[in-house]
Amino acid sequence: MMQHLPSFRALRALEAVVRNGNVMRAAEEIGVTPGAISKHLTQLADELGTALFEPGHRLKPTAGAQDLARAVGLAIGQLRRACEDAADVKSTAVLTVVAHTTLTMHWLVPRLVAAQEAVGGRPVRVHPVHSTDDWRQTPFDVAILRHDRIPPGWERRVLGRERLTLFAAPERAARLAAGGLQALAGETFLVSDTRHGELQAWLAAAGLAGNLEPKVFAHFYVALEAAVAGQGVIVGPTWLADAGFRQGRLARPFPAVATDGTRLVGVYDPAVCDGKTADRLLAWVGQELCESVAA
């Protein structure tokens, strides 16, 4: 048994580097220089008498270093929660949620009041990110992702799977509904680079050929606005129908034709966010999404 633990600064440096996978980002998070991070890691390796990173791989932690970093992260989380309890700041600290732009704009923002009620009145703010952005660049407590590629030691909660259907401006949707699926012949389909394969999946569910040349946009929310403007039709998640589009901006010409889409997951770092609060919020998000998908 070790008589003396390594310095907290060295342990914190290891945890931040392993979690972020980047010395610069870890240094910015902690508020020190990259040189100080390197010095702490060297000191820690000397104290432990073992290498922390794989030979030839500057930032690939060993299995032992990963386990130690995970334990340090959990310990920091416990310390933070104890300090919050002592200072009585939990109920007033802002909970920051990161999610992709379309979900943020059209689903989360209209539900902010309900989200705050779900976490006992704690203030909640949302920060939109593009699917092509590095979502970890923005400080946050909870992230809602369309993938589950997360750092070691993070917690993940499956929120549900999207259902995909066709949307169009109301007049266009009414015309298509009256003409049936064959009315889609010659129609302009709008897609984004960030949602690959969704149009083809819906066309297959509708029993239609998939050899189309759609109009492509860089981001889904841009393609969505083009559909609202009457430039074409778009395949999107069914929760859009429950996300402010009840105002008459878009309609579903063939609501019975739907197919499975991407799985949504909620993630958080237990070293940063209180697990009970994160789980309460994510349980609420999962329930709300389930009801929206079924709508």
Are 267 and 145 within 8 A, CB to CB?
yes
**Shared domain check, 249 and 167:** yes
For residues 150 and 29, membership in a common domain is answered with no
Average pLDDT of the residues of the chain: 87
CA separation for the pair 196, 274 (Å, rounded): 34
Average pLDDT over residues 23-46: 89
Whether pLDDT at 88 is above 60: no
Give one DSSP letter per residue of 155-224, joined into a string: EEEEEEEEEEEEEB-HHHHHHHHHH-GGGGTTPPEEEETTSTTHHHHHHHHHT-------EEESSHHHHH
Residues 173 and 224 in one domain: yes
- What range defines the domain where residue 65 resides? 8-87
pLDDT given for residue 241 in this prediction = 75
Could you tell me which residues are beta bridge partners of residue 42? none
Element (H, E) at 260: strand 259-268
Whether residue 3 is contained in a domain is answered as: no
Residue 87 is predicted with a pLDDT of 62
Position 73 confidence tier, pLDDT thresholds 50, 70, 90? confident
pLDDT band at residue 86 under the 50/70/90 scheme: low
For 118, the token pair is 């779900």
First to last CA, the chain: 58
Of 174, 93, 145, 154, nearest to 262 by C-alpha is 145
Q: Is residue 116 part of a domain?
A: yes
What pLDDT is recorded for position 230? 93
- Give the CATH number of the domain where residue 142 resides: 3.40.190.10
Check: CB of residue 130 under 8 Å from CB of residue 121: no
